[in-house]
Amino acid sequence: MTHQKTVMGIFAYIDDLLKALKFMAENDFKVHTVYSPFPHHEIEEALHLKPSSVRFFTLCGGILGVMVGVGLVVYTCMQWKFIVSGKPIIPFVPAVVVGFEFCILLSVLFNFGGLLFRSRLPRLRRPEHYDDRFSQDHFGILIQCSETDLDRLSNILKEAGAEEIHEVDR
């Protein structure tokens, strides 16, 4: 049984990184992480990423917000037993306004919480293999492969234009 190895390739240009990602997809290598100093849609397309699930957190927050807002209006009207003089006991327009405000509030809070949860933040320390150049002007790709494919992977990364290739301990 072969052990899994992790290799880090460092690139100066995004075109080289995209070429390496294309080679990884063609040769069935598992891309673990891509480091970039800025978000780039072509990286997402090359990795075939699915849309973020944070939107479902926002949807749940919005639905819960409407229910809480309308429920608060209903509870308040029923608890205080207002004298309404022939008008509805539970007023429709204020319930809509309060429901909308709670919808916005809880959507934002759930969105922020979902973002933190899905991106596993806060990270209290950086991974040991992280290079400070990834925050400035270089790109990195972390790839997992078997020991037998290590030389082939290194050749593919060099062919794609990697400046440096390191074996990483994870």
115: number of Cβ within 10 Å: 14
* CA quadruple 147, 17, 40, 122: dihedral, nearest 10: 40
Model confidence pLDDT, tens digit, residues 35-55 = 999 999 999 999 988 888 999
Instruction: Judge whether 131 lies within some domain.
Output: no
Instruction: Judge whether 12 lies within some domain.
Output: yes
Instruction: Judge whether 59 lies within some domain.
Output: yes
CATH number at 157 reads 3.30.70.120
Say if residue 33 is in the same domain as residue 66: no
pLDDT of residue 87: 85
The mean predicted confidence, pLDDT, of the chain is 92
pLDDT of residue 123: 85
DSSP assignment, residue 149?
G
* Domain that residue 114 falls in: 54-118
Instruction: Judge whether 33 lies within some domain.
Output: yes
Say if residue 72 is in the same domain as residue 104: yes
Please tell me the pTM assigned to this model.
0.75
